[in-house]
Amino acid sequence: MLFKTNSFTRLLLLGASLLALGVMSQGAYAHGMSEADKLAIIEGGNLRYMWLGATHMLSGYDHLLFVFGIIFFLNTFRDIAKYVTAFTLGHSVTLIYATFNGIQLNYFVIDAVIGLSVCYIAFANIDGFRKYLNITPPNMMLMIIGLGLIHGFGLSTRLQELPLSTDSLLLNIISFNAGIELGQISALAVMLLLITAWRKSNAFQTFSLVTNYGLILAGGLLFLMQMHGYSHTSNPEEFAGTKDSMAVNTMTKEPSQNISAGKLVALENRPNELQQTQWKDSISIVIPARDDKEYKLYLANGSTLEYTWETDGANLFYDFHGEPAGDKTGYFKSYKKSTDSQAEGLLTTVFSGTHGWYWKNKTSSPVTITLKTTGDYKRLDLENEVTQAKTIKESNTSNYDAINNTIHNTVHDNID
C-alpha cells in the first residue's frame, strides 16, 4: 500500500469534513436565489440574466462537485472536453425546454437526485462497480448525459420561481444558460490547474481516493438534507417565502405596527358544508399564459367569506391574503399559499380591508378560474365597472354638451 491505514483514515476524515463543511455553509438549498438576485433578474436585461447565471453556477456547489468528479480521473484534455460537453448539452436541453414550457418538479426531489449524482460519479471514479458490486459499470457517456438532464431540471425549477418576461422569454433563458456555461468554464479552468499540478505529486493517488470518498459523503449529506426538506412539504412554493407566521412587506421586510397578526383566524376547509352553500356570486377569471392576476373583495372587520374556486384543469400557484384598509407600510397577511387546481374554505376577518387571491399561471396556455363566493363583502370589480361607466357617461355628457354649444353658437352666428 502507498499509505498506512491510520494516515489514510485521517486524510479521509479531513477531506470529507472539508467537503461537508462547504456544503453546510451554503445551506440546504443548492439553487437558492437571494431577494436581491430576484429583483435584479426581474428588472435587468439579458446581460443581467447572463451575469446571474454565471454567479449562480459558481455558487452552486452541487453542480461544481459533480463537474469536479467528472474531470477528476480524466487524463487528457480531449476526454475532459468530451464529457463536460455531454454534461453541458444535457443540462442546457432541460433548462431551456422545461422553463420555456413551464414544466416544474419539486426542487427538493431534484436536488436530492443531484446529490446522488455526485455520489454516483465519485463511486465510478474509485471503480466501485467492479470492486464492490462485481459488475461492469454503466456507459459513462450515457450516464453523464442523463445526469446532465437532471441538473438542468434543477436549474429550470429555480429559474421559474421568477416572473420571467413573456415578451423575450426564450432569449432570457438562453442568456441565463450562457451565464451558467461561463461560470462553469471559469470553475473548470481553476479545477484543471489544480488537478494538473497535483497529478505530478506522488501523493495524488492518496488525494484522489480521499477526495472521491469525500464526494460520496458530501453527496449523501446533500441527499439527506433535501429529503428532509421534501418530507416537510409537498408544495415547493411553501418554502419560497418567509417561514414567519406574520406576513411582511416584501420590500421593507417591516410588519405593520397597527395590526395584531395573532388575531387572524386561519382558513378552514369544510368540503361537506361548502357543497350545500348557496353562492352569492359566481365569477369567471381568465389568467393569460405565463401571467398573473389578482382578484379582491372588500370585507369589514368581523365579516365572513366562504369561497370555492377551481380551474379548467391546470394547476396554479396561488396566495390567499388580506391587506388592511389605509395601511401604507405594504403589510399583507397571507392565509394560505400553495399550488393546486382548486381550493375552498372559510375566512373570518379581524380587520377591514381587501381580501382575495393572487394567481400565477406558469403554463403556456390561458387558464380559466370559476370562483364562487358568499358572505358580507363588496365586489371591487363591480365598483370599478360602475366607476368606469360613470366616467364614460360624464365624458359622453361633456361631449354632447360641447356639440350642443357648438351647434347653438353656429346657429346664433348665422342668425346674426
Count each helix (H run) and each strand (E run) in the chain, helices first. Answer: 12, 9
> What is the model's pLDDT at position 414?
54
The alpha carbons of the chain give a radius of gyration, in whole angstroms, of 29
Tens digits of residue pLDDT in 372-405: 999 999 998 886 654 554 554 555 555 555 555 6
CB 53 within 8 A of CB 178: yes
If asked whether residues 232 and 274 sit together in one domain, one would say no
Measure the CA–CA gap between 93 and 97, rounded to whole angstroms.
6
Tens digits of residue pLDDT in 298-332: 999 888 999 999 999 888 889 899 988 887 777 77
If asked whether residues 86 and 222 sit together in one domain, one would say yes
Range of the domain at 85: 5-236
Total structural domains in the chain? Answer: 2
> What is the model's pLDDT at position 328?
77
If asked whether residues 43 and 77 sit together in one domain, one would say yes
Can you state the angle between helices 35-43 and 46-59, rounded to 10 degrees? 150
Residue 343: give its domain's CATH number. 2.60.120.680
| pLDDT (mean) for 67-84 | 82
> What is the model's pLDDT at position 365?
87
Percent of the chain with pLDDT over 70: 69
If asked whether residues 349 and 311 sit together in one domain, one would say yes
If asked whether residues 217 and 276 sit together in one domain, one would say no
If asked whether residues 320 and 359 sit together in one domain, one would say yes
Calculated CA dihedral for residues 16, 30, 320, 169, nearest 10 degrees? -170
If asked whether residues 49 and 116 sit together in one domain, one would say yes
pTM for the model stands at 0.55
